[in-house]
Amino acid sequence: MSRRISHHALLVALSLCGALPAQAADTPPATATVSWRDVPTSFAAESTVEAVRQATVAAQVQGRVIEVRVDAGDRVKQGEVLMRIDERESNQAVAGADASVAQAQAQLINARATWERTKNLFAQKFVSQAALDQAEATYRAAEAQMKAASAGRGQATTTRSFTVINAPIGGVVAERQTELGEMASPGKPLLTLYDPKGLRVVASIPQYRLGELRGRVRAKVEFPESGRWVDATEVELLPVADARTHVVRARVQLPDNLDGVVPGMFARAHFIVGQSKKLVMPQQAVVRRGELTGAYVSDARGGFQLRQLRLGEPLADGQVEVLAGLAAGDKVAIEPIKAGLPKSAAGNP
């Protein structure tokens, strides 16, 4: 009895498992119509993403790093403590400067008192003019010594403040170049920060293309790896050309807070120079098999035939230009894997 139940349960399970693909296969692949469309005419230039606001924090004093509070990828606020350098040497320098100020102050008090006494004695004609001049010179020298000692104390105090490394801008830690316990020295990079709210791509435009960019320059930025397109908020052409390559650098401003976009990424800037009609199809319908580029085209019998195509440049709205192989009105499968199945597997009669 138990064998019969187990056998029956197995048959039911197999029938249920087989029903799911059959049900999914009954639905024909989704299609899109190839059509003519007015699209912007542009030329592309390879570019690199960079941060508008980026700062490399370097050490200003020598000492061992005794505390590290952040790592690459952490978000920080402006003024936040990032690292600390051993301040014992700086404390000794401040103590020495305080002692110098105290000594200079004592000498100044003594020189002032001597000068006052000498002036009184000179008024009573007990000392000569030379003695009075000598007392005044000693007093002026003590005054200068006091100012120098005070300045030295201020410098030592300021230097001690450099042992605490604060964030000069708010943003993201891009890289940490120094580890806990390492020696920091003046000029040695410690951290690199950037503000993710302000990103741009920098592209090089050939000199012969500058005549096509008139008035307010517009551009779209493509990220080829993800297929993502964004509209530039502003385009700035730098007013100087490279003397060797004869190209002009363009700064293309990106919208704020773009997820997944970081400095150093590759991008492609498309500078819009006009508008024209192009035959287009969805990029998701493109099939690539080795050197073959094609698409599954719907035929009159309800099936799909793989047709070789020649494509142009990708467009900003997920479309691609068709140069040869299709005509307006053709229907292409935007589910090419499903369209490539045999009729029996795809649920077609």
Convert the pLDDT of each residue in 289-312 to its tens digit. 888 888 999 887 778 888 888 888
Which tokens sit at 186?
């003046």
Angle at 151 between CA 150 and CA 156, to 5 degrees: 100
Rg of the chain taking only CA atoms, in angstroms: 38
Q: What percent of the chain shows pLDDT beyond 70? A: 90
| CATH no. for 56-84+163-194 | 2.40.50.100
Does residue 11 register a pLDDT over 60?
no
Strand partners, 81: 166
Does residue 25 register a pLDDT over 60?
no
Q: Single out the residue of 338, 339, 276 nearest to residue 312, CA to CA.
A: 276
Does residue 344 register a pLDDT over 80?
no
pLDDT at 26: 62
- Whole-model pTM? 0.63
Does residue 349 register a pLDDT over 90?
no
Cα–Cα distance measured from residue 333 to residue 32, given in angstroms and rounded to the nearest whole number: 6
The answer to whether 55 touches 169, Cβ cutoff 8 Å, is: yes
Q: Single out the residue of 272, 189, 184 nearest to residue 231, CA to CA.
A: 272
Average pLDDT (276-280) is 87
Quote the longest CA-to-CA distance of the chain.
140
Instruction: For the domain made up of 43-52+196-275, give the CATH fold.
Output: Elongation Factor Tu (Ef-tu); domain 3 (2.40.30)
Cα–Cα distance measured from residue 77 to residue 32, given in angstroms and rounded to the nearest whole number: 48
Confidence of residue 111 (pLDDT cuts 50, 70, 90): very high
Structure-token match 């570019």, residue found: 47
End-to-end CA distance of the chain: 41
Helix (H) or strand (E) segment spanning residue 158? helix 129-161
Mean per-residue pLDDT of the chain: 84
Does residue 7 register a pLDDT over 50?
no
Q: Which pairs from 207-212 meet CB under 8 Å and 24+ separation? A: 207/241, 207/246, 207/247, 207/248, 209/43, 209/271, 210/237, 210/248, 212/43, 212/271, 212/273
Q: 204: burial class by Cβ within 10 Å (0-12, 13-18, 19+)?
A: middle
Classify domain 87-161 at the CATH class level. mainly alpha
Does residue 18 register a pLDDT over 70?
no
pLDDT at 301: 77
Does residue 207 register a pLDDT over 80?
yes
> Which tens digits make up the pLDDT trace of 150-204?
999 998 888 888 899 999 999 999 999 999 999 999 999 999 999 988 899 999 9
Average pLDDT (331-343) is 80
Average pLDDT (5-33) is 51
pLDDT at 260: 85
Q: Centre a 10 Å sphere on the Cβ of residue 315 and count the other Cβ atoms it contains.
A: 20
> Which tens digits make up the pLDDT trace of 58-91?
999 999 999 999 999 899 999 999 999 998 888 8
Q: What percent of the chain shows pLDDT beyond 90? A: 43
Q: 54: burial class by Cβ within 10 Å (0-12, 13-18, 19+)?
A: middle
The residues spanned by each domain of the chain are 43-52+196-275, 56-84+163-194, 87-161
Does residue 21 register a pLDDT over 50?
no
> Which tens digits make up the pLDDT trace of 243-259?
899 899 999 999 987 88
